[in-house]
């Protein structure tokens, strides 16, 4: 999809961070936006910014983890447009915890939003895209933790590996419908994700959060750089899109020497949390 002007793009989790940046980048390309977030209030300023650049068709409160909410949202969308051209499954949350410290309800929470949320988005929007027959593009936001293992993120990484695998399966099937699929795999991006993440297995949760927030701040890699990579991925129909030097490093290191890569990230994680 070389030309994004006039296309209808739907972004989940558009109220903050990467989702907001993607929505604005697509608006700058001339796309018309449909936005959703569990925090509906956060969408209002984004809507105003988009209206200065292009057109915001709709903002909606929706919890991606709920199939009922996503079906209701899809009904509203398909009453307004026959199908979306670009679907960006971005909404997500953070969870720090090992396989031993992650509680059962944390597994349900993280997989519900970060994996089922993407499945729900695909389930309710992709069939209309295929049925219409004019093609389109699906962007699923995975992570560098969706292709390489790292300690203390068992639930988060499991969900992101799922999103990565789902995206590759979809890509090999949906090309018959002229629908491209990209798995976006950012590294450490400075957004609100660390402020709102659940943290398990750490004695002093506030202290751990401060260290992680401060590390993300010092890294200072902004979400607009992810958004630029997303626009490029849609235009060039890229399959796997690591974003940031650490995401590229992990991608190649893990392929070349998986054991060395695991040892390196164990050491890095411990150093960040010290």
Report if residue 138 touches ligand NAD, rule: CB under 6 A: no
Smallest gap from Cβ 174 to ligand NAD, in A, equals 21
How many CA atoms lie less than 13 Å away from 219 in the CB half-sphere?
A: 19
Report if residue 141 touches ligand NAD, rule: CB under 6 A: yes
Q: Where are the alpha helices (DSSP H) in the chain?
A: 17-28, 43-51, 67-80, 104-110, 116-132, 154-174, 193-196, 205-219, 223-236, 245-256, 258-273
Residue of the chain from 98, 108, 172, 196 that contacts ligand NAD (CB under 6 A): 196
Report if residue 167 touches ligand NAD, rule: CB under 6 A: no
Q: Under 8 Å CB-to-CB from 101, ≥6 apart: which residues?
A: 200, 201
Report if residue 18 touches ligand NAD, rule: CB under 6 A: yes
Cβ neighbour number for residue 245 with a 10 Å cutoff: 11
Determine whether 100 is exposed, middle or buried from the number of CB atoms within 10 Å of its CB (0-12, 13-18, 19+). exposed
Show contacts with ligand NAD in window 244-273 (CB under 6 A): none
Report if residue 170 touches ligand NAD, rule: CB under 6 A: no
Does the annotation mark 147 as catalytic? no
Report if residue 97 touches ligand NAD, rule: CB under 6 A: no
Positions annotated as catalytic residues are 156
Which positions lie near ligand NAD, rule CB under 6 A?
12-13, 15-19, 37-39, 42, 63-65, 90-93, 113-114, 117, 141, 143, 186, 188-189, 191-193, 196, 223
């Amino acid at each position: 999809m070389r030309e994004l002007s006039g296309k209808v793009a739907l972004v989940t989790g558009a109220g903050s961070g990467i989702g907001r940046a993607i929505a604005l980048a697509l608006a700058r390309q001339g796309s018309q936006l449909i936005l959703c977030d569990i925090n509906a209030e956060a969408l209002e300023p984004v809507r105003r910014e988009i209206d200065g650049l292009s057109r915001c068709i709709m903002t909606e409160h929706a919890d991606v983890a709920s199939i009922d909410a996503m079906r209701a949202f899809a009904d509203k969308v398909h009453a307004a447009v026959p199908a979306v051209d670009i679907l960006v499954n971005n909404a997500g949350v953070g969870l720090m915890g090992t396989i031993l410290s992650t509680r059962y309800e944390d597994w349900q929470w993280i997989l519900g939003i970060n994996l089922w949320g993407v499945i729900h988005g695909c389930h309710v929007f992709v069939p209309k895209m295929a049925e219409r027959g004019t093609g389109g593009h699906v962007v699923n936001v995975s992570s560098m933790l969706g292709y390489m293992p790292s300690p203390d993120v068992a639930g988060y990484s499991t969900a992101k590996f799922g999103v990565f695998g789902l995206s590759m399966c979809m890509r090999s099937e949906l090309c018959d419908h002229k629908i491209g699929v990209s798995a976006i795999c950012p590294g450490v991006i400075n957004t609100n994700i660390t402020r709102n993440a659940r943290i398990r297995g750490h004695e002093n949760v506030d202290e751990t959060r401060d260290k992680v927030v401060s590390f993300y701040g010092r890294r200072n890699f902004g979400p607009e750089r992810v958004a630029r990579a997303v626009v490029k991925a849609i235009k060039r129909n890229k399959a796997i899109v690591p974003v940031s030097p650490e995401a590229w490093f992990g991608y190649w290191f893990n392929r070349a020497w998986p054991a060395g890569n695991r040892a390196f990230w164990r050491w890095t994680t411990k150093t960040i949390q010290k």
